[in-house]
Amino acid sequence: SIRKCERGPPLLPANLQEDQWMHTEAGVSLPEYLQRFGELAGLPLEVYDRIDGQHLVPYQAAVSQLLWNQLGEAFLELFRRQRTAYRRINGGSSAPTLKVGVEGRFVASKEAVELGPVAYGGRVTGTFLDFREISRETSGSRSR
């Protein structure tokens, strides 16, 4: 989970030997950011935006425990360097924080089925797709 990005998105490594950093595009999700950070830093992270088929909120990501045990320490050291560079480049005393091991928060079911009615031509009623409405409208019957 990432927090405290008040002065813009977190930075990406441009040249770690010279401690150079570049800005991340606005609107990038945490899984996209971490994947790119790992690629640029030479750390082969496999970052996921879902757990067991459920989409995580955009500010959370998942990494396998086995892989994190191998690469986590190196990644967090580079992320600490990113925090220092973030404060230097953007000013101020706050910088993005990364919390590891937090419980996953998932996209609400209403948001997850938002495309359902478009794909199926139905209507969302609560958390269910109501297909009876399609049958009535196509058959010409308007009574309930």
Three-class SS state of 88: helix
Range of lowest pLDDT (20-34, 86-100, 127-141): 127-141
Q: Report residue 109's pLDDT band, with 50, 70 and 90 as the boundaries.
A: low
Nearest CA-CA partner of 8 in 96, 71, 104: 96
Integer Cα distance of 112 and 125 in angstroms: 14
User: Greater confidence, 105 or 134?
Assistant: 105
The pLDDT assigned to 18 comes to: 93
Integer Cα distance of 19 and 122 in angstroms: 54
64 CB-side CA count, 13 A: 6
pTM: 0.72
Contact predicate 112/64, CB 8 Å: no
Integer Cα distance of 95 and 73 in angstroms: 19
Average pLDDT over residues 21-32: 90
Q: Could you tell me which residues come within 8 angstroms of residue 77 by beta carbon, excluding any fewer than 6 positions away?
A: none
